[in-house]
């Protein structure tokens, strides 16, 4: 008896590059943002760089929005029509309503397509760390694994993946609700540049530095501490600072034993809070 095919769906916050999405047939639920009175679907209507240009021109009109139940339904129905089971790897449920919307949509799709199972998995993280969980699941699905095995592999990567990032400014971070506005203003005046990671589904501040050079050293140190000499999967992330991301990628390539290494832009919905100039690493050790 042939194993039932499994489709993997994630959201646009996972910032998986287009070539990897296409190779492993990963479905995407786009989140939305508003700029200059228009609604844009993340990664569909504009590229991240184009979105950041909109943001820089008029930051006060730039607003973020989650993915609707309708967007989740659209992403789930396509593979369901092909009779595929679905694993949906979603942005941390502590950061967005997309997780609960995906659960509602999943139940509706299961009613519409009897025999199709839809499982929504909380990634407990974001950005390329979330993307790595979806990628691992999609690779297993492409190799013929059943839904239970695909879920198991996704959870294994979820338990190992880390994310660490440097922000070039604290000017916008108060929008996320993680620090008071007065702290953001004070930090901006003092030119403090924060380093943050993810823990228990939310971003956590690890400390602050005075320069990007020192900030990059902190990112590399954190990766050395957690990955050591292991074979490691790595993504270099950035917000509208491609040249610096390219340089960081070269350094990672030289200093680490990389099973894979790719570069991506943070979704504009994350860049909205982080600000341009942000650099980050998402990674997990093999085995």
256 and 197 fall within a common domain: yes
Structure confidence at residue 180 (pLDDT): 43
Strand pairing partners for 258?
Answer: 232
Residue range 166-215, pLDDT digits in tens: 988 766 554 555 444 434 444 454 577 888 898 888 888 888 888 999 99
Pick from 117, 114, 165: which is nearest to 270 by CA?
Answer: 165
pTM over 0.75: yes
Which residue, 159, 176, 207, sits at the end of a domain?
A: 159
105, 133, 159 — which closes off a domain?
159
Distance CA 146, CA 274 (A): 38
**271 vs 147: CA distance, rounded Å:** 33
Q: What is the pLDDT of residue 227?
A: 93
Residues of the chain scoring pLDDT < 70: 1-2, 170-190
Residues 89, 186, single domain; the answer is no
State the pLDDT at residue 145.
Answer: 97
- 252 shares a domain with 126: no
Helix (H, G, I), strand (E, B) or coil at 41: strand
Q: Which residues contact 281 (CB under 8 A, 6 or more apart)?
A: 163, 164, 165, 219, 222, 223, 234, 235, 236, 237, 248, 252
Kindly state whether residues 101 and 117 are assigned to the same domain: yes
What domain range includes position 137?
A: 6-31+66-159
Query: Quick one: pLDDT at residue 2?
Result: 58
pLDDT for residue 41? 86
What pLDDT shows up at residue 248?
98
């Amino acid at each position: 008896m042939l194993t039932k095919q499994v489709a993997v769906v994630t959201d646009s916050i996972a910032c998986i590059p287009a070539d990897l999405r296409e190779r492993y047939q990963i479905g995407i639920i786009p989140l939305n943002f508003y700029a200059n009175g228009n609604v844009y679907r993340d990664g569909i209507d504009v590229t991240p760089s184009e979105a950041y240009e909109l943001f820089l021109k008029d930051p006060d009109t730039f607003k973020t929005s989650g993915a609707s139940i309708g967007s989740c339904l659209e992403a789930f129905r396509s593979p369901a029509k092909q009779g595929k089971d679905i694993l949906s790897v979603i942005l941390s449920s502590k950061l967005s309503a997309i997780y609960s919307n995906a659960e509602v949509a999943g139940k509706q799709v299961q009613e519409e397509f009897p025999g199709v199972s839809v499982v929504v998995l909380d990634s407990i993280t974001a950005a390329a760390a979330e993307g790595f969980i979806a990628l691992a699941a999609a690779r297993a699905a492409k190799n013929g694994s059943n839904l239970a095995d695909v879920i198991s592999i996704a959870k294994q990567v979820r338990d190992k993946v880390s994310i660490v990032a440097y922000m070039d400014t604290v000017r916008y971070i108060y929008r996320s609700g993680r620090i008071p506005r007065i702290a953001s203003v004070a930090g901006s005046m003092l030119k403090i540049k924060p380093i943050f990671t993810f823990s228990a589904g939310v971003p956590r501040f690890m400390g602050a530095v005075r320069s990007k050079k020192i900030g990059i050293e902190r990112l590399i140190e954190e990766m050395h501490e957690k990955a050591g000499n292991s074979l490691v999967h790595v993504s270099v992330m950035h917000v509208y600072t491609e040249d610096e991301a390219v340089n960081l990628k070269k350094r990672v390539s030289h200093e680490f034993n990389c099973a894979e290494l790719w570069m991506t832009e943070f979704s504009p919905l994350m860049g909205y809070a982080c600000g341009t100039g942000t650099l980050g690493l998402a990674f997990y050790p093999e085995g």
